[in-house]
A and B are shown apart, each in its own frame.
Chain A
């Protein structure tokens, strides 16, 4: 017995009488429906998490990748000179699109969260910061460090790689985990449907005996069960996805940059389509799982 295209087509061609030969089984019906709904609900969140972390990784990568910072750590009387020297070096450095020293106001704003809005930099040994915007080719950080160490001894180049790499790596791992969770959820649906289908087939051994007695082929018997479980899984999964999407929509959005991750779980753009792929995928998994279970059970019952 092979589950071919005809078997798939039988799902869409309702045969009311053929559907009725398998008795309605309350327990397995509820189990399949609930399991598919619950798993689809969880899958929506796993996907939302995965896609949000994906966006986050891209955002961090994009924001940090093409910028660098130079700190001028020098006595107050040399700070302006060394800042000028550093800017001069940067003007002749390949890969630098623009470079500018942050003003006192900008540096004060950066320190405001720690020292308050009225902080004055005059009496503080705060290094001068130079913001570098790189071209698409980027700078040769090692070469620039060498030049700075020779020409501007108080300059320290920070190309953000030590911040960016672990953050992007963590976000990428989190995205991968989201997809792994989705795959595990689908596998769990397959296992649940297999168990429920096997239970239903075993409970209906007498029905199968009667059907065989009157000339039903194994394909006919299997399809009666496959159709039932596939449609249940599809219905349960659709319900779970709708509830999951509603829950995602109801999550707060926007907010500050600090809360961006927690409030950025909503799908974006074409991402909204992805959760709606879960029900057909679940149905396909249920179709295959029930088919395998039916094949085994009918073989054992012969």
Chain B
């Protein structure tokens, strides 16, 4: 597939398949199109040529609400994490359950367990603006996985956190992969990729000159 914007082609001849349960990194220089490709992977953008199949469905044949339903099976963590600032952290994390009409499920122990998993139990009733960068990323990760999605997409999840926190986040993502989730992380942080490859079988895709290629063993 290809994606153009403003008269210029940002991505061309992209052909990639994320197998279920796989772990991928997407790397490349700033502005190469990592975020754009990620957005194409969860239907926030539509390809201008070719097709994108989300969990087997061609996005170009889907209505907006159909894509919304598919997104419930795709957890997304953005670099610039966005929350509903007027809701407590716990309610933000439970938001995917709320919008899918399963708000009652957020009252159970699963949410508490998830909050503990990302180490935010004590911050559950705080508001998002009160969280640090690392806490926001962990809250976003918890929100991304609360629906037990098939796929987790993370865009520079460690971009705003220190090394220790980035390792903690990486560990959480690897844990998710071990649970059978497909994970795709867009990052330009090569040290993060190396740390992950020491723990998990990960493929590294590199975007360069609008095209995607499998990165070599140097990573």
Contacts and interface: CB of A to CB of B under 8 A. Distances in A.
Interface of A: 1, 15, 17-18, 20-21, 23-24, 206-207, 209-220, 302
B103 A18 contact: yes
Contact of B69 (A15, A21, A215): A215
B65 to A, nearest CB: 4
Contact of A210 (B82, B91, B147): B82
B87 A217 contact: no
Q: Which of B68, B72, B78, B143 has the most CB of A within 10 A?
A: B68
A302 to B, nearest CB: 6
B64 A302 contact: yes
Contact of A213 (B64, B82, B98): B82
22 contacts: A1-B65, A15-B103, A17-B103, A18-B98, A18-B103, A20-B86, A21-B84, A21-B99, A23-B84, A207-B84, A210-B84, A211-B95, A211-B99, A212-B68, A213-B82, A214-B99, A214-B143, A215-B68, A215-B71, A215-B100, A216-B99, A219-B65
Interface string B94-111: 011011100100100000
A210 B143 CA distance: 11
Main secondary structure of the interface of A (DSSP, over half): helix
A160 B117 CA distance: 92
Contacts of A15: 103
Contacts of B85: 23
B3 interface: no
Nearest to B72: A215
A220 B98 CA distance: 10
Q: Which of B65, B69, B106 has the most CB of A within 10 A?
A: B65
B25 interface: no
A20 B127 CA distance: 14
Interface residues of B, number: 25
Nearest to B140: A213
Contacts, number: 65
A286 B64 CA distance: 25
A91 B99 CA distance: 85
A17 B91 contact: yes
B115 interface: no
Contacts of B82: 206, 209-210, 213
B127 to A, nearest CB: 11
Q: Which of B91, B98, B103 has the most CB of A within 10 A?
A: B98
B83 interface: yes
B169 interface: no
A214 B65 contact: no
A214 B95 contact: yes
B205 interface: no
B1 to A, nearest CB: 19
Given A213-B76, A213-B82, A21 B95 contact: yes
A252 to B, nearest CB: 50
Contacts of A210: 82-84, 95
Contact of A216 (B68, B91, B106): B68
A214 B96 contact: yes
A19 to B, nearest CB: 10
Contact of A215 (B91, B96, B103): B96
Given A18-B103, A210-B95, A215 B84 contact: no
Interface in B31-89: 44, 64-65, 68-69, 71-72, 76, 78, 82-87
Nearest to A17: B103
Contact of A21 (B44, B76, B87, B100): B87
Given A21-B84, A210-B82, A215-B147, 12 more contacts: A17-B103, A18-B98, A20-B87, A21-B95, A23-B84, A209-B82, A213-B44, A215-B68, A216-B99, A217-B69, A218-B68, A220-B99
Contacts of B68: 212, 215-218
A215 B99 contact: yes
Q: Which of B82, B84, B99 has the most CB of A within 10 A?
A: B99
Nearest to B143: A214
Nearest to A20: B87
Given A17-B98, A213-B76, A218 B65 contact: yes
B161 to A, nearest CB: 20
A218 B64 CA distance: 8
Contacts of A23: 84-86
Contacts of A214: 71-72, 95-96, 99, 143
A255 to B, nearest CB: 56
Q: Which of A18, A206, A212 has the most CB of B within 10 A?
A: A212
Nearest to A213: B76
B126 to A, nearest CB: 16
Contacts of B83: 210
A23 B83 CA distance: 12
